[in-house]
Amino acid sequence: MSSGDGRLTHAGNLLGALTVALADRVGDAVTQAAGGSESVAAALSSLEDFLEVPTVGLLQQVLGLTPSGAVRLVDRLEDAGFVQRVPGGDARVRHLTLTRRGRVSAKAARNARALVLESALAPLTSTERAELDALLAKLLFGLRREPGATRWTCRLCDTGACGRDQGECPFVPAGRNLRSQGRV
């Protein structure tokens, strides 16, 4: 929350500095691991972890790209041997499937991200980590967006770590277990 005159509080400024530092480090790590841009890493991660029936249009929404930008990205992914376009149920729609190389690169990007984030948490005790976990879930819950939003927050997430399937993710579907337990 701001101090009322347009200036940030100390906590807000620290949060901003932390997000920039982590975004820089995660971005560098995932681009190197995936062998492409952050968009490549996010696309591979999304295709590997949570897009059940991926299409160019859905990838466009996840990454917040223009239609032509999404097509160009998928062209690059296909040229690099990361994805294949396969026919969908509708002749107008092509589904995207990760190749073996794409799965390997997606996992490398996920692992690189995990190393950066776990090293950032290293100075904290287990008690501090548990406290931070609850605070981060609360902050993320407050930042969730309306259905249909672009640039999904979870585009680089490790869905195994977030607890998505158990309803622990603040975003899917809007943190139903977190909310019911009063944790957000």
Based on the domain organization, do 32 and 90 belong to the same domain?
A: yes
Q: Does any domain span residue 80?
A: yes
Determine, yes or no, domain membership for 146: yes
Between 67 and 145, the higher pLDDT residue: 67
On whether both 91 and 165 belong to a single domain, the answer is no
Tracing tokens 């239609």 back to the chain, one arrives at 67
High-pLDDT (> 70) share of the chain, %:
83
In a domain, 32, yes or no: yes
Residue 4 belongs to some domain of the structure: no
Task: Say if 2 falls within a structural domain.
Answer: no
Do both 36 and 62 map to the same domain? Answer: yes
Same domain, 58 and 111: yes
- Confidence grade of residue 41 (pLDDT, cut at 50, 70, 90): very high
Query: Are residues 73 and 90 both part of a single domain?
Result: yes
Give which of 90, 89, 63 is closest to 76, Cα–Cα: 63
pLDDT range class, residue 178, cuts 50, 70, 90? very low
Residue that terminates a domain, selected from 123, 149, 174: 123
Say if residues 152 and 58 touch (Cβ distance below 8 Å): no
Residue 111 sits in a domain whose CATH number is 1.10.10.10
Domain's final residue, options 72, 88, 123: 123
Higher pLDDT, 108 or 181: 108
Mean pLDDT of 10-26: 95
Alpha carbons within 13 A on the beta-carbon side of 87 = 3
109 and 146 fall within a common domain:
no
Check residue 100 and give its pLDDT.
97
pLDDT-derived band at 30 (thresholds 50, 70, 90) equals: very high
pLDDT band at 4 (very low <50, low <70, confident <90, very high): low
Measured CA to CA, the distance from residue 37 to residue 63 in angstroms comes to 12
92 and 103 fall within a common domain: yes
User: Domain range spanning residue 160?
Assistant: 125-184
> For the whole model, what pTM was predicted?
0.81
Output the pLDDT for position 12.
92
Among 22-36, 80-94, 97-111, 117-131, name the one with the lowest average pLDDT.
Answer: 80-94
57 plus 84 within the same structural domain: yes
Count of domains in the chain?
2
DSSP per-residue string spanning 22-76: HHHHHHHHHHHHHTS-HHHHHHHHHHHHT-SS-BHHHHHHHHT--HHHHHHHHHH
**41 shares its domain with 55:** yes
Which pLDDT score is estimated for 171? Answer: 67
For residues 106 and 16, state if they share a domain: yes
Give the pLDDT band (50/70/90) at residue 175. very low
Among 81, 100, 123, the domain-final residue is 123
For the residues 148-165, what does the mean pLDDT come to? 70
**Mean pLDDT, all residues of the chain:** 84
